[in-house]
Structure 1
Amino acid sequence: MAAKHTYIQAPIAIEYLESCRDLISVCASWSFGQWGCQANGSFEQVEREFEASTRSSIPLTLIAIEDSRPTGMISLAEYDFGGRPDLSPWLKSLYVHPFHRNKGTATLLIKKLEHEALRLGHKKLYLTTEDAEGLYTKHGWLEIDHVRTPYGDATLMTKILPDAIQA
C-alpha cells in the first residue's frame, strides 16, 4: 500500500520591508521587471524608492513571507503615475511571485495595506491596473476612470476605507 503524503502549507506572514531590509533588492527586481523597464526608469531608481520605505509614513512597503522566502509585495505611495497628482495616496506595486499565486497572498497584502493606510490617517486610496480589475472589485474597489499610464491603458480605481478594517 502506497504511503499518503500530507503537505502542510506554511502560513503567510506580512512584514514591513523596513524590518526586512535584506529584501529591498528582491522588491526592486520584481518591480523593475514587472513595470520599471517599461517606464524608462532604472533599476537603481526603483531600488532607491524601496530603500525609502518606512512603517511610520509614506512610502510604506509590505512583503509577504512564506517558509522564510519572499513571495509578494505591495506599497502605499504618495503618487503612482504622473497623470493624476491631485489624487493620493496610492496602492501600487502589488506583485506576487508566479510560484506563489492563487494562495490568497494578494488578498492578504491588499487587506493589510488598507489597514496600514487607515492607521496612517488615510480614508481613501487610489490605484491603476491594466488587467486586474476583477481582483480589486472583489475587494470593494470602484472603477472611476480610464487613464493612460507609462505601461498603457489602465483602469483608475478608488476605495473609501471603512473605519474599522479587519487586518
Structure 2
Amino acid sequence: MTETTTSAAYDISTDPARLDADRIHRWLSTDAYWALGRARDVQDRAMAGSLNFGVYDRASGEQVAYGRVVTDHATFAWLCDVYVDPVARGKGLGTELVAAAREQLARLGVRRFMLATEDAHGVYEKVGFKSLENPSMWMSQDLQDPS
C-alpha cells in the first residue's frame, strides 16, 4: 500500500519508485553518525526490507528527507535512518515524517513502535515517543564487530 500525505509545500510518500537511493545513501553514509561508511549494497538491502518514507519538495519534486521502518506490518515496528537534508532542516519535516509513519502503523494495528537515538529525543517526543519504562527487560546482541 502506497500512502501519500501532503503539507503546504511537501509530500510524504511510501512509494518506493519515488526514492532517490543515491541521495539516501550519500546522506546516510557520509553525514549520519549511525551509518557513516555504510556500503551501498547494505543500504539497498535495508531499504528493500523496510517500509520507506520519503519527503519531497512539491515544487521541484526533489527528495529532502528519508526514514524507514522495519516492521511485520502487524505487531511491531522499528524506526531508523531518519534524515533531513541540511537545507531543509528547521521546517518540522522530521516530525511530519515520523508522524506520518506513526499514523500508517496505527492503521495497521501495530502495537509497539520503537527507535534508538543519541541526539534527537526532542524531535521524537513531539510525536509521542518516550524513554522505556522498564529498559532492563530489553536485550540486544551485536552480530557484527562494530569496527
Q: Which amino acid aligns with 1:93?
A: D
How many equivalent residue pairs?
Answer: 125
Query: Where in structure 1 are there 5+ consecutive unaligned residues?
Result: 1-9, 54-58, 80-86, 151-167
2:61 is the counterpart of 1:62 = no
**Distance (Å, rounded) in 2 between the aligned partners of 1:148 and 1:132:** 21
Match for residue 32 of structure 1 among 29, 32, 47: 29
**Distance (Å, rounded) in 1 between the aligned partners of 2:40 and 2:21:** 12
Residue 20 of structure 1: CA displacement?
Answer: 1.0
Q: Give the conservation status (yes or no) of the 8 Å contact 1:36–1:43.
A: no
**Distance (Å, rounded) in 1 between the aligned partners of 2:104 and 2:44:** 22
1:158 aligned residue: none
SS in 1 for 2:67: strand
Residue 148 of structure 1: CA displacement?
Answer: 9.0
Once the two structures are superposed, residues 117-137 of structure 1 have per-residue CA deviations (whole angstroms, 9 ceiling, x without a partner) of: 123331220000000111112
Q: Give the conservation status (yes or no) of the 8 Å contact 1:63–1:74.
A: yes
Q: Give the conservation status (yes or no) of the 8 Å contact 2:51–2:71.
A: no
After the TM superposition, which residues 51-130 of structure 1 pair with which residues of structure 2 at under 5 Å, given as runs? 52=48, 59-66=50-57, 67=59, 68-78=61-71, 88-130=76-118
1:11 aligned residue: 9
Q: Give the conservation status (yes or no) of the 8 Å contact 1:14–1:65.
A: yes
Larger radius of gyration: 1
Question: Identity percentage over the alignment?
Answer: 23
Q: Which amino acid aligns with 1:64?
A: V
SS in 1 for 2:104: helix
Query: Given the two structures, how large is their TM-score scaled by the length of structure 1?
Result: 0.64
Query: Where in structure 2 are there 5+ consecutive unaligned residues?
Result: 1-7, 143-147
